[in-house]
Structure 1
Amino acid sequence: MSERLMTRRPRLTVRLRLTLSYAGLLVVSGAAVSCIIWLVFRIVPNYPLTAANPRDLQSGQPPSRAEILDLVVKLSAWTLGFLALVGLVGGWILAGRMLKPLQEITAAARRAASGSLDHRIGLTGIRDEFTDLSDTFDEMLDRLQLSFEQYRRFAANASHELRTPHAVMKTMLEVAQADPGHQDVPQLVKRLAETNQRGIDIVETLLSLTALDNREVEVDPVDLAAVLRSAWPALSAEAAEAGTTLSSELTESVVEGNDVLLHQVVTNLVQNAIRHGGGTVSVRVSGGWLVVRSDGGILDAARVRTFVEPFAKDRYGAGHGLGLALVRRIVEVHRGRLELAPNPDGGLTATVVLRELGFGS
């Protein structure tokens, strides 16, 4: 970027160019008027001029047409010089006032380029192109600041989560090495496998989130109810192990989507309800809607909004927090929407809305 700026040829500033434009316009307009006056006198017949009042002849002969034309030319030259001066001074002041909002926007852009995203322009006054640009720039800074804050939280939590399984495995291995004769090897292997699988799951989910941002997703007509039925045996087994009552209400609902990714959405939402909800989970599919409702404790709406952020749930001690983040990204890729709402009587309702295909689609 700096090399490109250094290679640019020096140019007149916008303020100076506007000033020259204003002055030039005034001079050209004055010159046009002067030319018209001169032409008028040129086409007037060259009759001898006399005074309207005979008594005025005592002061001398009236001027001839040639003398009048010379006077017009001289006065026009002085007038054009005056207009050029007024145009330069007035144009410089007027251009400065008009470009002041642009200078504020430029200063804010430079601050943002240096890494400061907390400054806002906030132009006031009559709505025009500059205020529109200012509002758009402020909105962009809001989104950038939010994105960077989410990225910092994600990076910090991801590094912590990826470090935790390795630290746990290192500790278990160090204990086993220190006292190998008193170790329950099968139990140790089981715990190592579980901890290693947790790290694998985190890495695979991170890779899935990255892949969704960098590739096109192939879509076909998919029946959401059929997707849920294919995932139901594994989900039922997990619910039974957790002591959770799992029920469903399924209606054929054909949407445009990717079967594998939608299977991931269904699995993650129901697993999240089983693992972090109460003792009852209900699933309903109808009209392009997938609704997963679980009971449990009363949830705060502000806390629920953080559930779709990667690792956000860790702050409340519930899971590694990537499942709902992946669900949200998959739904966004399908041009749908994910809604999380706390139930008045406790628990959470997750709703995925996709575009249902009609019979003529």
Structure 2
Amino acid sequence: MGRAPGLSVRLKLTLSYAGFLMLAGILLIAAVGLFLLRNGELARNEAGAMQATPGTTFVKGFAPTAAGAMAFLLVFGLLGGWILAGRMLAPLNRITDATRTATTGSLSHRIRLPGRKDEFRELADAFDTMLARLEAHVAEQRRFAANASHELRTPLAISKSLLDVARTDPHHDTGELIDRLRTVNTRAIDLTEALLLVSRAEQRSFTRERVDLSLLAEEATETLLPLAEKHGVTLETRGDITPTTGSQALLLQLTTNLVHNAIIHNLPDRGTVRVTTRARPGSALLTVENTGEQLAPELIPTLTEPFRRGTERVHTDHAGVGLGLAIVKTITQAHDGTLTLTPRPEGGMHISVELPSTPPAQHKGPGQT
């Protein structure tokens, strides 16, 4: 944004300091002069003389001294104000330099302003926190782009290989090639749709409406019941009405991803998945708990990163596209919620999603809209 040049803040503060100092000096000299004039008038009335009293003469002699004092205050105010303003604005200059450094793309720089807490230190600390979050976000986006490129390149490379085989070997089983191409193409479509879903959730380009998490939990478990039966997993759903506000489609995707993840990453047989919804004061809570293998605590934070899976589960038949919990995290953040992953001591994981609740609808009387 182009702006016309103006006075610097330091010069404005200098003039302000000098102005207040001059005003204080004028008031002080005026008070002293008034006091002297009053005392001289009283002395003249008591003496009954018409000529000027010593007090009056002193007042006349005080004027040049007052003018000299005002000149000194002006010079002292300007010089002292300039020095004080420079010292006061030194932290702001450091913040400005850090901002210019950040605009060049260097997000690793930190202000780290020393000293006790004040307004400038709070601003510097907030700026450092913002830079740290931006740096982490940019790094995450770069990893996401690199991983997405790798994941998308894999099905395309397989498709190219299959097509090359079909072209060089016309006697090859066409049905087998078509089935494999269909599988690879389906995976590429699923991955692309997942990437679009992540982008849509991050941009928060959705309409908010009243949503009941308990109904979404029931719908997700009913949809995934055949998959659970196939894996020998028991689904348990309970909870009261749990209202919140958001996109019903995105929150259903969130719930489905959590239940699907809990079914797939479970015990080989006789596993359990418990889905619970509960309304709290000011929040709506959805929890999904499953049995399964024991997970290392250091592995938990990485599970919500795009294309990150447990090392033991990468090559399973149901590894998915690697965006299940990443989508859950993105949708939760887009709804101003909190996602918490906790490993269970006996194996498996406890995942909770806490969203802002919806206040109950007020009853409207006749004629109210």
Equivalent in the alignment of 1:327: 328
Equivalent in the alignment of 1:126: 116
* 1:127-175 deviation digits (Å, cap 9, x = unpaired): 2111111111111112111211111111111122222211211111112
Contact 1:313/1:320 (<8 A) preserved: no
Secondary structure at 2:267 match in 1: coil
Equivalent in the alignment of 2:282: none
Equivalent in the alignment of 1:282: 273
* CA drift at 1:358: 9.0
- The residue type equivalent to 2:131 in the other structure is L
Equivalent in the alignment of 1:37: 32
1:247 aligns with 2:243: no
Cα distance in 1 between the residues matched to 2:24 and 2:218: 80
Equivalent in the alignment of 2:258: 269
- Which of 81, 88, 92 is the equivalent residue of 1:102? 92
Larger Rg, first or second structure (1 or 2)? 1
* CA drift at 1:179: 1.2
Cα distance in 2 between the residues matched to 1:314 and 1:198: 20
1:227 aligns with 2:216: yes
| Residues 159-308 of structure 1 mapped to structure 2, 5 A cutoff | 159-181=149-171, 183-212=172-201, 213-222=203-212, 224=214, 226-241=215-230, 243-257=231-245, 258-279=247-268, 280-288=271-279, 289-308=285-304
- CA RMSD after TM alignment: 3.0
1:158 aligns with 2:148: yes
Equivalent in the alignment of 1:14: 9
Cα distance in 2 between the residues matched to 1:99 and 1:237: 67
* CA drift at 1:192: 0.9
* CA drift at 1:48: 10
* CA drift at 1:282: 1.4
Cα distance in 2 between the residues matched to 1:308 and 1:78: 74
Equivalent in the alignment of 1:343: 344
- The residue type equivalent to 1:246 in the other structure is T
| Residues 68-147 of structure 1 mapped to structure 2, 5 A cutoff | 68-147=58-137
* CA drift at 1:75: 0.8
Cα distance in 2 between the residues matched to 1:48 and 1:286: 94
Q: Percent identity?
A: 38
The answer to which of 208-217 and 161-170 deviates more is 208-217
- The residue type equivalent to 1:338 in the other structure is L
* CA drift at 1:97: 1.3
Structure 1, unmatched stretches of 5+, are: 51-61
Secondary structure at 1:9 match in 2: coil
Structure 2, unmatched stretches of 5+, are: 280-284, 363-369
- The residue type equivalent to 2:342 in the other structure is A
Cα distance in 1 between the residues matched to 2:295 and 2:200: 32
Cα distance in 1 between the residues matched to 2:114 and 2:87: 14
